[in-house]
Amino acid sequence: MRALDEFRRIAAEHDRCFRLDGGGSQRWSGRRSIMGWLADDDLSLSYDATRREVVEHPSGRVVGDDVFAVLQDLQDGDPETHWIGYFGYAARPDLPARSMPGVPDAVWMRTRTTAVTVEPERVAAPLPGRAVTVPVPPWYAEAFAEVQEQLRAGNSYEVNLTYRVAEHSPADPVDVYGRLRASDPAPYAGVLRHGDTWLLSASPERFATIDRHRRVETRPIKGTTPRGASAAEDEDRRHQLASDPRFRAENLMITDLLRNDLSMVCEPGSVVVPHLMEVESYASVHQLVTTVAGRLRPEVGTVDALRALFPAGSMTGAPKLRTMQVVDAVEQEPRGVYAGAFGWISGDGRADLGVVIRSTFRSGDGPWVLGTGGGITVHSRVNEEWAETLWKAARVRAALES
């Protein structure tokens, strides 16, 4: 709580600030919390995909038309320089994705002012949420049916069908983040503020890490089930997730997609799958996770590598480009920050970013935007998929409503 109070003070004094928090929910994520802020004359970038403009702050100058290229050019080799921010789903100008009006498609803040603390282990606190209901709304059923047509036509093997909802909340963003973190500790918990844009996250999914040896690792999640009400039911659901052919097929398709993405930037023969379809347990869900890793080729820069992997294959489906075209045609609203990636990039080439899921974002005086969804295959059932979108979003909604 003391760390949260300290961040509340930082957010009140600095309109460009952040907190990234491992959450202590998994052994690999650690319990470090990194907080920081920008001084008035420190550099940050924002990107508008509709206008194709990367804007430098605080000067307001347009400094490019591709945020990945601008960010790569600004890597200075200094391990004390850290960029904190996000790529929204439409951040790559060469891929089919719509920009959400009023919300930056990318924000990156350069900071040398950070504080690292080690948080105590967290046990998720109960947080009431809305009950999961069906019937399925007509608009979702129509989108699901269109996805099924695309799958049966052979245009995709798996489509990650998502939607956005608006949630009004009078609560302070830091309080919402505190409730979300307490109820659902996650490896990529965090809060970012850039002016009047906020991103609050309890994401469990790694987009990519790059270490000092230029080893890149991604951990796609595909296959999710809610926790059971009793120990016996919980173990049954864990076993079902690990053994169900449908979940395993979904995960394998995305694993192959990530192997292909990594092969474009990694040394030949270095791409491996050290962990295949392992079950990770969180406060509200069990998830099926695979690890795909490789070693970057010498000529590939860190941001260039992140661009090649973006957006996360688990949030598109396979094959990536054609499936993104299907998503663009079927989904009613732009994804905005949702399904993008956020975290940090060091000046010396290291990086650690999560996928923007189990998260909410807001710009200006508008409502909080919450994204949710899931992977659809020809074997999917519409009522089950709709219910899954509700329980995935339940804890974020509850944090906003409390």
Position 110 scores a pLDDT of: 96
The whole-number pLDDT of residue 24 equals: 63
CB 373 within 8 A of CB 205: no
Residue 283 confidence (pLDDT): 82
SS3 69: helix
What long-range pairs does 92-97 form, CB within 8 A, spacing at least 24? Answer: 92/68, 92/307, 92/310, 92/311, 93/49, 93/52, 93/65, 93/66, 95/311, 95/321, 95/324, 96/321, 96/324, 96/325, 96/328, 97/49, 97/311, 97/324, 97/328, 97/334, 97/335
Say how far apart CA 92 and CA 175 lie, in whole Å. Answer: 32
Candidate list 119, 158, 222, 280, residue with the active-site label: 222
Give 131's contacts (C-beta < 8 A, 6+ positions apart). Answer: none
Name 81's Cβ contacts closer than 8 Å, sequence gap at least 6: 110, 112, 346, 347
Residue 152 dihedral angles phi and psi, to the nearest 5°? -70, -25
Please report where in the chains the tokens 């004359």 appear, as a residue.
41
Angle at 162 between CA 159 and CA 163, to 5 degrees: 155
Paired residues of 371 in beta bridges = 164
Distance of CA 274 to the CA centre of its chain: 22
User: Pick the catalytic residue: 119, 205, 250, 385?
Assistant: 205
Residue 331 falls in the annotated catalytic set: no
The whole-angstrom separation of Cα 160 and Cα 147 is 9
CB 98 within 8 A of CB 16: no
Catalytic status, residue 205? yes
Give the pLDDT confidence score for residue 39 in this predicted structure. 93
Domains of the chain: residue spans and CATH:
2-401 (3.60.120.10)
Rg (CA), the chain: 20
Please give the structure tokens belonging to residue 176: 């919402």
Neighbours of 265 (CB within 10 A): 21
* Residue 30 pLDDT: 65
pLDDT at 324: 98
Strands (E) in 123-242, as ranges, are 158-167, 188-194, 197-203, 206-210, 215-219, 221-226
DSSP string, 355-366: E--SEEEEETTS
Compute, in degrees rounded to 10, the torsion defined by CA atoms 89, 92, 84, 121.
Answer: 40
* Sign of the alpha-carbon dihedral angle for 358, 362, 367, 373: negative
Residue given tokens 């999961």 in the structure block: 132
Q: Which amino acid is at 379?
A: H
Would you give per-residue pLDDT tens digits along the chain (402 residues)?
Answer: 577 889 999 999 999 999 998 766 667 666 678 899 999 999 999 999 999 999 999 999 999 999 999 999 999 888 888 999 999 999 999 999 999 999 999 999 999 777 776 666 554 444 343 445 689 999 999 999 999 999 999 999 999 999 999 999 999 999 999 999 888 889 999 999 999 999 999 999 999 999 999 999 999 999 999 988 899 999 999 999 999 998 999 999 999 999 999 999 999 999 999 999 999 988 888 999 999 999 999 999 999 999 999 999 999 999 999 999 999 999 999 999 999 999 999 999 999 999 999 999 999 988 999 999 999 999 999 999 999 999 999 999 999 986
pTM for the full model? 0.93
Element (H, E) at 395: helix 382-401
Q: What is the pLDDT of residue 125?
A: 45
